[in-house]
Amino acid sequence: GESVGLHLPTLSVQEGDNSIINCAYSNSASDYFIWYKQESGKGPQFIIDIRSNMDKRQGQRVTVLLNKTVKHLSLQIAATQPGDSAVYFCAENSGGSNYKLTFGKGTLLTVNP
């Protein structure tokens, strides 16, 4: 598969542990945030989103936390599985006339069996 994440921050966890992936975003005016998962050789896949009027949102095994004061976003994955191994990106809607998502550089999550 392709290597899409050279020089990335990495997180290595044991299967069954909880994972926390962090992201600092840049634009205080951003009002919508998304976490994407990218497996080797594939396009980014939507995981969960959150709007700026919320500070927490839960999905299946995933939780996103938003701290607008310090412009910080985190993704928590419960009971991490080998299939969770991937690069994870946060993205923000930085507004303007172009509905554009600005992506972070990504974090490589490796789950050890």
Q: Report the distance separating Cα 10 and Cα 22, nearest Å.
A: 11
- The mark string for 19-58 relative to other proteins (x by CB under 8 A, - otherwise) is ------------xx-x-x----xxxxxx--x-x-------
Who contacts 75 (Cβ-Cβ below 8 Å, separation ≥6)? Answer: 19, 20, 21, 23, 35, 47, 48, 62, 63, 64, 88, 90
For other proteins, which residue of 19, 80, 85, 93 counts as binding (CB under 8 A)?
93
Task: Decide if residue 100 touches other proteins (CB under 8 A).
Answer: yes
Shortest gap between Cβ of 113 and other proteins (angstroms)? 27
How many residues sit close enough to other proteins to count as binding (CB under 8 A)?
A: 28
